[in-house]
Structure 1
Amino acid sequence: MGAVLRQSGLILEVPEAEAAVGRHRDVLDANARLGVPAHVTVLFPFVPPAQIDRVVIAELRRIFANTAAFDFRLTRTAWFGDEVLWLAPEDPQPFRILTELVHSAFPDFPPFEGQFDDVVPHLTVAHGCDLEDMRAAERALEQHLPIVGRARKMTLIAQADDSGTWIRQSTFPLAEPGRS
């Protein structure tokens, strides 16, 4: 059996959601068990970890240093078919802008490898699990909405080894208006 192709991604961590979604994600989202925190994906897959060098890091730092931090609200649950339960931002546009900025700088890495005509910003809670378990999680989550957060930094995550475990490789602060 050959080596696993390791991947990386850019995410916006949502620590404000962990209290509401953490226990559900631990059971219903395999990525949570592999170390991925509650997040909204900005660009996946990104540059393979072995190819992430100082030039890539410098470009990410430049992009995000020139991008304003923003407040957001996760206001409702939603589904991709019966396979994925997720939380929807009230205004997806700031997340879409982040994706567009990174993809423009790294055009060889389209969001989700170009599989979708419309990339929908979302926070995955459950993926590919028993439908009744996912519906129970949805009912439990509704009492925690809205979840209010602030996008302050971007995180580059990468698979650490062939186990598929993810680690935070780098973080990039977003610009805070009025602060220098």
Structure 2
Amino acid sequence: MADDDPEPFVVGQTALVVPVPEAESAVRVWRNRFDPVARAGVPAHVTVVFPFLPASRVDAGTCAVLDDMFGRHRSFDVRFEECGRFPGVLYLAPTPDAPFRRLTEAVVDRYPEAPPYGGKYEPHPHLTVAQGQDDTVLDEIETGLRPGLPFAARVPTVDLVVYSGTDWQHRASFSLR
């Protein structure tokens, strides 16, 4: 959910994320040490859109639109079998990733003013485990993760989270059908 900026979050920033509680036993120790998003209160997740709209623009009408939009998508099962990398980032790759891509596309179609990662990166579904580390550290983390793989997860919801200035707080959940 974050990038390489030293202060990546802004008060009132929002994100749409798919929580993956099934990942916690495999990734919690690593995320708590090496992912600032975890330390700021966000559970293991796959990002749908970050940043989304500013919190000041997310009202009951926006939530109703999101509820209807996500309710048109089926819940789905996913597996996390292998790790992947971006520069300085270690993540778990979801299989299949197409359902996550469809959720992102639906949000962007309805809210083109909120492109994923501000349009800076092409969206690529992933569950971040560590970021801002060199390859040696990422290699060690990956070795430590392997015994916890693979695992399966069910995706029944998308959550809206808001940054308070100190942590990310859950604001709403939207059920997939």
- Give your verdict on TM over 0.5: yes
**Matched residue of 1:107: which SS?**
coil
**Matched residue of 1:72: which SS?**
strand
CA positional deviation for 1:5: 4.2
Unaligned runs of 5+ residues in structure 1 are: 176-180
Residues 1-180 of structure 1: matches in 2 within 5 Å?
A: 4-81=10-87, 83-116=88-121, 118-160=122-164, 162-163=165-166, 165-175=167-177
CA positional deviation for 1:130: 4.8
Kindly indicate whether the alpha-carbon contact (under 8 Å) linking 2:78 and 2:96 is maintained by their aligned counterparts in 1. Answer: yes
Kindly indicate whether the alpha-carbon contact (under 8 Å) linking 1:11 and 1:42 is maintained by their aligned counterparts in 2. Answer: yes
CA positional deviation for 1:27: 0.2
List structure 1 runs of 4+ shifted beyond 4 angstroms.
none
**Matched residue of 2:160: which SS?**
strand
Kindly indicate whether the alpha-carbon contact (under 8 Å) linking 1:72 and 1:149 is maintained by their aligned counterparts in 2. Answer: yes
**Matched residue of 2:123: which SS?**
coil
For residues 126-155 of structure 1, the C-alpha deviation after alignment (integer angstroms, 9 at most, x for no partner) is 000354332211101111111200110110
TM-score normalized by structure 1? 0.89
Kindly indicate whether the alpha-carbon contact (under 8 Å) linking 1:42 and 1:99 is maintained by their aligned counterparts in 2. Answer: yes
Kindly indicate whether the alpha-carbon contact (under 8 Å) linking 2:14 and 2:54 is maintained by their aligned counterparts in 1. Answer: yes
**Matched residue of 1:108: which SS?**
coil
Q: Partner amino acid for 1:151?
A: V
The count of corresponding residues between Structure 1 and Structure 2 is 168
Taking only aligned residues, the RMSD between alpha carbons, in angstroms, comes to 1.2
For residues 94-149 of structure 1, the C-alpha deviation after alignment (integer angstroms, 9 at most, x for no partner) is 11000001111111101111112x31100000000354332211101111111200
